[in-house]
Amino acid sequence: MANTQNAKKRDRQNARRTAVNSARVGRIRTFIKKVEAAIEAGDKAAAQSAFQVAMPALHGGVSKGVVHKNTAARKLSRLSTRIKALA
C-alpha cells in the first residue's frame, strides 16, 4: 500500500499508463486480425488495404514502446509474405 504522497501519485500514473498501453496493444491486435481475416477469406485487395492500415499502427506501437521493434518487423514480414502468396 502506498503511504507517501509520491508513491500515491506513482500509483495513479501507472494505472493511467497501463490503461493507455493496453488500449494501444489491443488496437494493434485488432488491425492484425483484420489482415489475417482478409487473408483467410482469400481477398488479396482487402488484405493489402488492411495491411496498409496495420503497418503504421505497428510502427506507432514500436515508437511508443508497447511493441518491440523486432516483434513488429517479424509480424509485418510474415503478414506480407502471406499476402504475396495469395497471388
Residue 27 half-sphere exposure toward CB, CA atoms < 13 A = 15
Instruction: Supply the pLDDT for residue 87.
Output: 77
Residue 22's pLDDT band (cuts 50, 70, 90): very high
Which domains occur in the chain, in start order? 5-84 (1.20.58.110)
pTM: 0.85
CB 80 within 8 A of CB 86: no
**Interatomic CA distance for residues 2 and 6, integer angstroms:** 9
- Residues 38-84 have pLDDT tens digits of 999 999 999 999 999 999 999 999 999 999 999 999 999 999 999 99
